[in-house]
Structure 1
Amino acid sequence: MNMQSPSSTVQPPAPPRDLEEMRLPMVMMRDILLKTMFRKSVTLLSDLAEALCLPQHITQELLDISRQNRLIEATGTLNANSGGEMGFQLSDAGKSRALEALAQSEYYGAMPVPLDSYRDQIQRQSIRNIQITREDLTHAMGHLVLPPSLLSNLGPAVSSGRSVLMYGPPGNGKSSISNGIRDALGDRIYVPRAIEYAGQVITVYDPIVHNSAETERDDPGSLRRKRSFDTRYVRCERPAVITGGELTLDMLDLVYNPTARTYQAPLQFKSTGGIFIVDDLGRQAEPPQTLVNRWIVPLEENKDILALQSGEKFEVPFDTLVIFSTNFHPNEIFDQAALRRIFYKIRIDGPDQQDFLKIFAQVARKKRLSLNEDALVHLLNEKYPQIDNVYANYQPIFLIDQMIAICDFEGIPRQMTPELIDRAWENMFVREGEVIR
């Protein structure tokens, strides 16, 4: 296996050289061409090639085949504004076929990538090919105050591309650490706009999940291929899908739109080559044990099983770093069999007093609030003994934001005093034993 640093370049998918290399049924390609012309009203070769995400010479081949079948007609050379391109339009037979095809599936636009072709690309850009160094992780976590021992545990977990369980008391940065891991990956991969399996189209690229890095297109004045990669794919940063208490088991299945008769890839498939973060595990409607049981095959065999509306099941690659994050102790929510299938278990504790003060100073500097020695002494000597000196990473920003809000409301300069510490502290906890009448 060729290991890659986060800054290394992933081998891109090469543009197809001819229709045979597309590895798609000819009828499917022809119908997508007709549906795209019908829905988008495109008439020029260059515009159609861009809509289909194909090189112009392959688009021209599809047009020629459709013309031979009398589904498309040439309209003649257009004016200079079109670059002298030949115009095309659907014939009456072509319009009828487009409507029939749309009745079967509303999908049009970018030509899908066969699932087997995508498997090859996944291997080239696998999350397990990345070698994260301590320097990479430290740089990505630079905005966090973390003990060196935590990075020592996180590093091998991330580099392995295997599952990780982070647990510990709430408010200590488990979500921030997960995001930092995503940032440490750094490089870019290629995500298909859609894939094809058994004649069905499944959309994968999602602008909400995938951060597009760049686009490419042909030279509109030439039939020669100008693209450096297959633009049926989108070059993106490695994805990070974050779910929380809203996660349900059906969100991990193919999403079928009965009106459009199209499929959308589930969340974990959209995260291929990146990270899938299950935050707040234990807060979902599904029991944690049930959720983890759903991941047993993917975690152990690096493959997932999806099902079409027909009931047909098929395998897809599972190439994702899964991070579970919970405030519960693992023994409370999992049995030992489930815990064995999670490769790394990392406890995230709150900071000690020294790190707490570092975080407090860091937040105050960012918020432009001057530190006050009397206020800090009061906080450490009078307030924290009330909660047995248990510090949490969220507390500095909570207290400082509270003091700023109080000052703004009272119309006084933003400042830090023992009195303001007392008022902020009152909002951080609910008193035990309060009677509500």
Structure 2
Amino acid sequence: MNMQTAAVPAPPPARNLSDTGLSIVMMRDILLKTMFRMNLDLVSELERVLCLPSRVVQELIDMSRDQGLIEAMGTLHAGATSNEMGYQLTDTGKARALDALSQSEYYGAMPIPMEEYGKQVKRQSIRNITMTRGQLTGAMGHLVLPDDLLDHLGPAVGSGRSILMYGPPGNGKSSISNGIRDALGDKIYVPRAIEYSGQVITVYDPIVHSSAEEQVDDGNSLRRSSMKYDRRYVLCERPTVITGGELSLDMLDLVYNATSRTYQAPLQLKSTGGVFIVDDLGRQAEPPQALINRWIVPLEESKDILALQSGEKFEVPFDTLVIFSTNFHPNEIFDKAALRRIFFKIKIDGPTQEDYLKIFAMVARKRKMPLDEAALVHLLKKKYPTIDNIYANYQPIFLIDQMIAICEFEGIPRQMSPELIDRAWANMFVREEHIEH
């Protein structure tokens, strides 16, 4: 059970236009573009799309009417419960919307100013979480782990800094990374978009922020749930970004779409308040040292530097638990300065024979495969000595799944025997031999 810290403070909804922190011109242009592109004419519709309270939307419409950009259409009957005034763009308003769209195609939810976003990041920092042994064990209960591993992992996760997990392949580094993510357990507020220097950067991504909850309001309810916080944010599980061999340095830069003239946040910005897992470090096109060098300033100073198309550089918050996972020894791929900057180095070794048998029995039970003493004795006494009795966590799953596949092919009930162990083992390793090309 998660004994998590209290819910993170919610960003309060704007009471008026100045509360949004945005320039009047930017808000007016986003309103006009949204009405033009989405063909919306009711305050209730605009409130939902712009993610602002109705009184703030009305304030924006009234201001735009004074400027001759919007006009009232008379009363529209919208459904059984409300009579709403409809609005439309004037010719001047349409011309202004087209001009604004030529500068940036962004419309919809009002962005959060970078400075305000920085304050919310501090309120919900990954470094504010408390990680107990119970939480971590609960999230990793399906893994057989040595006790001393949790002794190292717990303080590392609780620090919210950076972790390097290393060791031979197939021993659950990826599973442990996912377990850490599951142990976090609370929710944070992710901005739909942020604004810097008049440019809009979209952040919320349904793929990364997949556990997002949308508040659905009952129009008849007096206390509307979505009014409790600024709906320019989405309430989400702490995000997790997992990258592997495909990670390249340019994936950590702002993504600019030249056609729509809009920006999308890079991976590490999307993972703010959560976990960024770099799996299989050393398999990327860039050398590991170059990747680590890119993270050094963010890891040390809790801020990252991004650049706009104009070349202008600016700071964004960096509040992410970074987990590096590699099959290489750290001394092979990093210099001492880089290693010093990674706060926790944790070796994930293969299991002992005792733990190996626990994993084997657990997998067999899940796969409904009856255990056979002769087969296990054969495996431990005849097979493992040929590889110096080096056990790995992936091997029980591999061997049992192989035996199941053989049983199904032969049309016999699921079973294990020394002969089936031999056939499964033959597929686990490739014999060293020279093949003529």
TM range (shorter): over 0.9
Output the TM-score relative to the length of structure 2: 0.96
Gap change, CA 1:225 and 1:373, over 3 Å in 2: closer
Alignment correspondent of 1:249? 249
Return the alpha-carbon distance in structure 2 between the equivalents of residues 133 and 235 of structure 1. Answer: 24
Task: Tell me how far 1:212 sits from its aligned partner.
Answer: 3.7
3-state SS in 2 of match to 1:319: coil
3-state SS in 1 of match to 2:420: helix
Gap change, CA 1:155 and 1:102, over 3 Å in 2: same
Equivalent runs, 1:103-122 vs 2, <5 Å: 103-122=102-121
> After superposition, what is the alpha-carbon deviation per residue over 1:7-35, rounded to whole angstroms, capped at 9, x for unaligned?
53111111011101111011110111111
Equivalent runs, 1:253-264 vs 2, <5 Å: 253-264=253-264
Alignment correspondent of 1:373? 373
Q: Give yes or no for the alignment of 1:45 onto 2:39.
A: no
Report the residue type matching 1:392 in the other structure. Answer: A
Query: Is residue 189–residue 235 contact of structure 2 (8 Å, CA) maintained in 1?
Result: yes
Return the alpha-carbon distance in structure 2 between the equivalents of residues 405 and 143 of structure 1. Answer: 24
Stretches of structure 2 that go unaligned for 5 or more consecutive residues are: none
Alignment correspondent of 1:13? 11
Task: Tell me how far 1:221 sits from its aligned partner.
Answer: 6.0
3-state SS in 1 of match to 2:11: coil
> After superposition, what is the alpha-carbon deviation per residue over 1:375-414, rounded to whole angstroms, capped at 9, x for unaligned?
1111111111110110000111111111111112222222
Task: Tell me how far 1:436 sits from its aligned partner.
Answer: 4.3
- Report percent identity of matched pairs: 74
The total of aligned residue pairs comes to: 434
Return the alpha-carbon distance in structure 2 between the equivalents of residues 180 and 417 of structure 1. Answer: 34
Query: Is residue 273–residue 320 contact of structure 2 (8 Å, CA) maintained in 1?
Result: yes
Alignment correspondent of 1:169? 168
Report the residue type matching 1:275 in the other structure. Answer: V
Match for residue 55 of structure 1 among 40, 53, 56: 53
Report the residue type matching 1:404 in the other structure. Answer: I
Task: Tell me how far 1:222 sits from its aligned partner.
Answer: 8.9
Alignment correspondent of 1:322? 322
- Structure 1 range deviating more: 371-380 or 72-81: 72-81
Return the alpha-carbon distance in structure 1 between the equivalents of residues 224 and 144 of structure 2. Answer: 50
Gap change, CA 1:221 and 1:423, over 3 Å in 2: same
Gap change, CA 1:113 and 1:217, over 3 Å in 2: farther
> After superposition, what is the alpha-carbon deviation per residue over 1:175-207, rounded to whole angstroms, capped at 9, x for unaligned?
000000011110000000000000000000011
Stretches of structure 1 that go unaligned for 5 or more consecutive residues are: none
Alignment correspondent of 1:240? 240
Equivalent runs, 1:81-120 vs 2, <5 Å: 81=79, 83-120=82-119
Query: Is residue 241–residue 271 contact of structure 1 (8 Å, CA) maintained in 2?
Result: yes
Alignment correspondent of 2:183? 184
Return the alpha-carbon distance in structure 2 between the equivalents of residues 220 and 353 of structure 1. Answer: 62
Output the TM-score relative to the length of structure 1: 0.96
Return the alpha-carbon distance in structure 1 between the equivalents of residues 221 and 133 of structure 2. Answer: 48
Query: Is residue 56–residue 218 contact of structure 1 (8 Å, CA) maintained in 2?
Result: no
> After superposition, what is the alpha-carbon deviation per residue over 1:274-308, rounded to whole angstroms, capped at 9, x for unaligned?
01111000000000000000011011111110000
Return the alpha-carbon distance in structure 1 between the equivalents of residues 73 and 42 of structure 2. Answer: 10
3-state SS in 2 of match to 1:235: strand
Return the alpha-carbon distance in structure 2 between the equivalents of residues 45 and 399 of structure 1. Answer: 62
Task: Tell me how far 1:367 sits from its aligned partner.
Answer: 1.1
Equivalent runs, 1:17-416 vs 2, <5 Å: 17-79=15-77, 81=79, 83-216=82-215, 220=219, 227-416=227-416
3-state SS in 2 of match to 1:295: helix
Alignment correspondent of 2:427? 427
Report the residue type matching 2:103 in the other structure. Answer: Q
Query: Is residue 276–residue 320 contact of structure 2 (8 Å, CA) maintained in 1?
Result: yes
